[in-house]
Each structure stands twice: as C-alpha cells, then as structure tokens.
Structure 1
Amino acid sequence: MRLLLIRHGQTLSNVAGLLDTAHPGPGLTELGTRQAAQIPVALANDIVGRIYVSTLLRTHLTAAPLAADRGCDAIELPGIHEIEAGSLEGNSDRASLRQYLETAFAWGLGNLDVVMPGSTDGHAFFDRFDADIARVAADHDAGGVAGSFAARTVVVFSHGAAIRVWVAGRASNVAPSFAGEHEIDNTGMVALEGNPRDGWVLLSWQGTPVGGTDLVDAPAEDPTGVRLSDS
C-alpha cells in the first residue's frame, strides 16, 4: 500500500506561531485554502483508493478539494490528530515551542516514557496513530485493492508534528532523527510504502506545499513544521 500523509493547509495559529492542538481547532487562511486547492492538481496522476482526515477542522477543509475532485467523502479517524500540547497549549514563546518539539521528537527516537507537560506520553501517541493506520490498511485490503497498482494509494490528512513523529518511529529506511531534521510546511506531503505487518519505507519527503514554493509563507512563525534545530 502506498500511504500519502499530507499536512493540513495554513491556519491563523500557524501564522502566529501558536501551539494550537485543541478540538475542533481553527479553519484555514486564504493561503491555506489556495494550498488545499492545489492538492487535486498535484495528485492528478494518482488513483486514490480512499481519503482520511483527523477530527480537527483544518484537515477536513484541506481534504475537501481532493474529495470533491474524486467524487468521494473523506473518512474521519479518531487518532491521527495533532500531538496534544497539554499545559503548553496556546503558547508561542520559544521555550514552550522547543519543549513541545523536544518532547515529541523524543518519542520519535524511541523514548516513549517522556510525558508532554500536562498531557500524554509517547506510548499513547503511537497507540492512537498506529490504530488508525491499521484501520486504513484494513479498509484498503477489505476493499479488494490489496496489491492492485491502480488503487493502492490512500491519502491521510494529518498534522505537522504528528506526521513527523510517526514517520520517525515507523519508517525503517531512515534514521529516527530524519523527521526532526527536515521541515514540513502546510500541505507538505510524505509518501511511504508498506503495511502495519511488514513495516513502512519512506519513499519521499516533500516539505514544501504540494503546489510549490509560491505557496510558502516564509514570514509565518509556524511552530510544528520547522526543524528541531531551528526551534
């Protein structure tokens, strides 16, 4: 199965540099809407089996153009939402952002007992994200498309830190530090191949928006898309 993980489009919290992980979360900026509109164009040559979104509004809005283009509904999953910021929620100071990222990427490096202040640990994060990806794989196989090149691609719209930490912990062909060292902008796309049983191989990491660098908002203070060394 080819798994595409796409980060949602830009929100006002991304622009302001806020840790904003609560439900239902903000909608998209005008730029975020334009970023989302480019996704069907970028995936024009891909035959997508299913489209999934998190429980947060911004993934629904980002997925909407692709779902409309493919004539299907996006399926909401309960566990692929952003890593909860706990007592750091709503903060934008450098110390809070660094603590958030260092905690999250400790999980990606295998230190699952580390606790996000006022929230959960890495075990809880991987349990929920893995469970949803297992459901995606089961849906794929149950739909009769296992091994079919024509419909082997599924698209999951998720969040910056969540995508990066899950890839850090689950991609077998790159070092766990890879995700922390590579940015992922709004509507950046990560492609993997595999399944929950045999594991996952990272195929590509497109850190910029799928529509290209013209859709990058360089001045934005986006807290969950930057390299750990830049936080």
Structure 2
Amino acid sequence: MRLILVRHALPNRALGGVAAAREAGGEPGAGPALTELGHRQAARVAEALAAEPLAALYTSPLLRARQTGEPLARAREMALLTVPGLAEYDAGEGHYIPVHEMPQADPAAWQRMLDGQLPEYVDVAAFQTRVERALTDIADAHQGTETVVCFAHAGTINVYLAALLGLDRPLTFPLDYTGITRVSVSRGGRRSVRTVNELAHVADLLDPAGVRTGDN
C-alpha cells in the first residue's frame, strides 16, 4: 500500500490560550485556522491528487490539518477520518508561529529547528512511537495496492521519516506547507520512502509575503 503524507497549509499565528485560538479563527486546543493563502494552498493539494486512486483520507485532529484536507475530501466525496496519533508534538497547546516569523518571534526555537531538534520539552521517543503506531495502524488497514492520504505536520512527518531512514535528528527535512511525501509499505511491512516534500503543485504559493502585498 502507499501512504501520501501531506503537511498542512499555512495557518494564522496564535500565541496560545482560548482567546488567542479564537482570534486566529481556530478552536481551543486545536490551534489556529488556515490563512487565506493557506486555503489556496489546500485547494492545490486537491488538484495535485485528483488522479490518485484513493482508498481513504486521514487527518490530525488539529484544525490546520483538517482544513487542509477538506478540499480533497469534498472533491472526492470522501470522509476525512481523524487520527489523534497524527497530531503534532504541540497538540493541545493551541499556539502556532508560522516558520517565516520564527527567527524574530522565537530565535531560540528557530535555532533548535535549524539544528534538527524538537523543543526541549518534547519527549522525542514517545512522540515518535505515537506517530509510528498511528501510521502502522493505518497501513495495516489498507493492504495490496491501496493508497491513502494523511494530513499532518512537519514534526509528525519528520519523526516518521527519521524512524524509517535511521536518522538521529528528528527534524532532518525542511518540509514546506502542503509538501507531499510518499511512503510505500509492502505486504510484509517493509517501508520505503519514495519522495519527500513534493512542491510542484504549490511552488508559486509558498511565499506568505504574497498576502501582505496584495498578491491574489
């Protein structure tokens, strides 16, 4: 079977807490909603995967991932199934700082990311185990030549790839918004990384400054 892993589209910034989540168009505990640019990016995912024979669609419970999957779910008239194990390491905190803002907003966190490390408070082994279990369960539910899509997060996808490739750093790959990663799983359970961070479908929509300058 084949796993198509999609990082969520660009969300609003939220600094945590119920009020901040609602101000960012989101839900308490689920983080912020997508920006206008993020919704355009999400629509491109539906276009990019239009010809794929899909058996199921899965999503992290966080709002930014769910909203990224909604255009594809509508286009294919398929249910978007929520899997708690696909959530990002910061699930439940309700905060989010877009990557392009991190060098100024949180230099220390930005440097750790550049070094390929998750925040110090994260139990990396537990997080990786949770993600692997979720994706293994999904793979076990779809045998043969079935293809499924999982809408998730940069940390989630990175720790899964690190496990598959035997990498020491949990954040090895700089995954872009709506970047597509493909993994094949054999009948015997052998997992092979086919592509990482495909961007052709959204390359012209990856500059968040486009919204601020009035680019439509």
**Do the two structures share a fold, i.e. TM-score over 0.5?**
yes
Q: TM-score, normalised by structure 1?
A: 0.71
Answering whether residue 112 of structure 2 is matched by residue 99 of structure 1, we say yes
3-state secondary structure, aligned to 2:61: coil
Q: Which residue in 2 is equivalent to 1:51?
A: 57
- Name the counterpart of 2:70: 64
Q: 1:168 aligns with which of 156, 162, 171?
A: 162
Which residue pairs with 1:198 in the alignment?
Answer: 189
Superposed displacement of residue 126, structure 1: 1.5
**What is the alpha-carbon distance in structure 2 between the residues aligned to residue 86 and residue 98 of structure 1?**
23
Amino acid at match of 1:36: A
Read off the aligned partner of 1:53 and give its amino acid letter.
T
Give the 3-state SS of the residue equivalent to 2:182 in structure 1: strand
The one-character-per-residue Cα deviations of 1:43-63 (angstroms, maximum 9, x if unpaired) are: 122101110001100111110
SS at match of 2:13: helix
Contact conserved, 1:63 with 1:157, CA < 8 A, in 2? yes
CA 207–93 in structure 1, closer or farther in 2 if over 3 Å, else same: farther
Give the distance between the partners of 2:154 and 2:30, measured in 1 at CA.
16
Where in structure 1 are there 5+ consecutive unaligned residues? 15-21, 106-115, 141-145, 221-231
Classify 1:10/1:137 alpha carbon distance in 2 versus 1 (closer, same or farther; 3 Å): same
Partners of 1:23 and 1:160 in 2: CA distance: 18
- The Cα of 1:10 is off from its aligned counterpart by 0.5
**Percent identity between the two aligned chains:** 31
Q: Contact between 2:116 and 2:171, CA under 8 Å: does it hold in 1?
A: no
1:219 is displaced (CA, Å) by: 4.7
Residue-by-residue CA offset, 1:11-44 (whole Å, 9 max, x unaligned): 1239xxxxxxx83100001110011111121012
Q: Is 2:207 the counterpart of 1:217?
A: yes
What are the Cα deviations for residues 150-204 of structure 1, in whole angstroms up to 9, with x where unaligned? xx111000001221222122136xx666962x42211000001115963321111
Contact persistence 1:51–1:67 (CA under 8 A): yes
In the aligned structure 2, how far is the partner of 1:43 from the partner of 1:93? 35
Q: 1:147 aligns with which of 121, 144, 166?
A: 144
The corresponding residue for 1:157 is 151
Q: By how many angstroms is 1:77 displaced?
A: 0.5
Give the structure 1 partner of residue 102 of structure 2: none
- Matched residue of 1:3: which SS? strand
TM alignment of 1:9-158, pairs within 5 A: 9-13=9-13, 23-84=29-90, 92-99=105-112, 102=115, 104=117, 116-117=119-120, 119-140=121-142, 146-148=143-145, 152-158=146-152
- For the structure 1 residues 189 and 170, does the alpha-carbon distance in structure 2 shift closer, same or farther, using more than 3 Å as the test? same
Q: Distance in 1 between matches of 2:156 and 2:96?
A: 17
Q: Distance in 1 between matches of 2:161 and 2:187?
A: 13
Amino acid at match of 1:162: T
Does the aligned pair in 2 maintain the 1:9–1:58 contact within 8 Å?
yes
| Cα distance between partner residues in 2 of 1:33 and 1:203 | 27
Amino acid at match of 1:98: Q
Is 1:80–1:162's contact at 8 Å kept on the other side of the alignment?
yes
| TM-score normalised by the chain length of structure 2 | 0.75
User: Cα RMSD between the aligned structures?
Assistant: 3.1
Structure 1 residue 135: deviation in Å?
Answer: 1.8
CA shift, 1:97, in A, is 2.2
